[in-house]
Chains A and B, each alone.
Chain A
């Protein structure tokens, strides 16, 4: 079913410029991979700084903890990558995470079976995403505004369910949260990490090996051209918000495992972390350029900075924000340079 010619859509890909005369004769790294490689270098560098400065930093467990503490953010960033690739934005993810923790906690407290809770949460998130995508597409209202309203709505619904924090006592959830998988070398990870990595793999598959994924890039490159080419732009434009809603709900489930509670004020401002991770990961907010893997490395960079600051001990937490801001700036500047050269 997958038509090969669709794959050849040059969706504003700077990679085509890598075949220019200038880069001939050098080691041929396509330009579109440069931001991701840069992010990876920054990750290795920050981790390296930590390893040199602090004893016990360069251990497998610190690395594993990076994944454990950021599993939900990885999932969010994956969903956000889809939206940003089409040139949209989703501000609702943090609130949907909070709503998911709230629904999960409240439903479990009411005695629902765990599987039903999981399905309900995922359906709610996807449904919200579907509704927002539909409004964005059908009425031509800007994604920024629609998802902002979605953010208020989801956060408000949390308060409707309960103003108090609700703790999760369900044995299935507790087992999932506290259970761990031993890797060779004595490193342990949680089930959340496995789920997050599966989500990443699924996203990579969808983006690069399916017609839907290629249409995502094409829409981000130029929506008009994609539509004129006969691609299913409507389905994709709405679909990315469904994916983002689903990922937010999944991230919310992971977050409720992580916190073992549902609370209306969970994940305030997490949408900005997700957007920052995607940008640091090398995606352009104008759409069409970026990789899921970049976003994952972006999350790891943000996580490493947090770990560094907690290892430092004397540094106050607000430095995290300043450093993340500075990093964002550095990556944007880097992207400008790359885009100008091509």
Chain B
């Protein structure tokens, strides 16, 4: 079990070492006005939305599903909240509205997948395509800016640590507690291995699938709030663009198989951190920002190949030869 996390951990450590070599002050943190600052905090803060979405995605992928619509859902959440606040609404009510609407969108995805039995990738493609249109419909194609101190706290606020980090870590803890301390995680995995068999064994496969999609949509909604609150604006076109891809990559790098049936929350945390560290690294070591994507592609392929099924099969011999990693 721990073996599977070896490569992600090594990749993350390698990235961090690279950063320290280039910027010796990389690990330094400082406390100012009761707020913690530093490169590591920046990585965590910028990675918070990705981590949150990746958590929801992990559970969806564990049921052998996938949710492409999270980026669009995040945009919708931001659009609803900002439009409501801009119209003079209470920020708390606005956020509540956004979460409720996104829960409905999650129900919709779950309905398509669990009741109609549509392949998850297509079922969520519908909302991925239409969702941005809906978000634009809500904002009427404008970038809605708001000025609400309460709302600003979600993405840019501090409670010693940035609030966004605290939210993401709290959700991580909650998911870990609920799925690993109860049978829920096992049931989710059993649905991923074989939905019909688990149904025959008395697992409510349909309800579980439904739950994970609603959970993924809620995570996406909170992430959308973070993204839009950070800039105090809702951009229906660009908020959360491609974040679903980053989230899926984070999950896969963390050793969760897209074939379903097993998942690792620690792996997802590592995956999200790797992706964010990678982006930060590119900036700090002075690679041209344009090449970020190439860099990302190379790392993703490298980590995936390390974990590839074929390598596992011949792994005994290969690992025996190297014998270096402790």
Contacts and interface: CB of A to CB of B under 8 A. Distances in A.
Contacts of A332: 112, 116, 118, 122-123, 126
Interface string A113-146: 0000000000000000000000100111110111
B301 A272 contact: no
Contact of B133 (A264, A272, A322): A322
Contact of B248 (A148, A286, A324, A329): A148
A322 B137 contact: yes
Interface stretch (B166-174, B181-189, B292-300): B292-300
B290 A160 contact: yes
B159 interface: no
Interface stretch (B36-44, B144-152, B202-210, B307-315): B307-315
A157 interface: yes
A168 to B, nearest CB: 21
Contacts of B297: 149-150, 152-153, 156
B129 A272 contact: yes
Nearest to B120: A285
A322 B294 contact: no
Interface in A284-324: 285-286, 316-322, 324
A279 interface: yes
A89 interface: yes
Contacts of A155: 293
A159 B252 CA distance: 26
A56 to B, nearest CB: 27
A145 B129 contact: no
B97 interface: no
B300 A149 contact: yes
Contacts of A163: 290
A275 B126 CA distance: 11
A115 B258 CA distance: 42
A329 B141 contact: no
Interface residues of A, number: 44
Interface in B112-138: 112, 116-119, 121-123, 125-134, 136-137
A328 B249 contact: no
A157 B294 contact: yes
A316 B140 CA distance: 9
Given A152-B293, A152-B296, A159-B291, A135 B305 contact: yes
Contacts of A325: 126-127, 129-131, 133
Nearest to A144: B258
A272 B122 CA distance: 11
B322 to A, nearest CB: 18
> Most B CB atoms within 10 A — which of A89, A286, A319, A328?
A328
Given A275-B125, A276-B125, A153 B133 contact: no
A286 B291 CA distance: 35
Contacts of B132: 318, 321
B294 A152 contact: yes
B248 to A, nearest CB: 7
A313 B134 CA distance: 19
A320 to B, nearest CB: 7
Nearest to A284: B119
B130 A321 contact: yes
A151 B308 CA distance: 20
Nearest to B305: A139
B305 A145 contact: no
A324 B288 CA distance: 37
Nearest to B306: A139
Given A156-B292, A319-B133, 7 more contacts: A141-B308, A148-B249, A155-B293, A156-B290, A156-B295, A317-B141, A329-B126
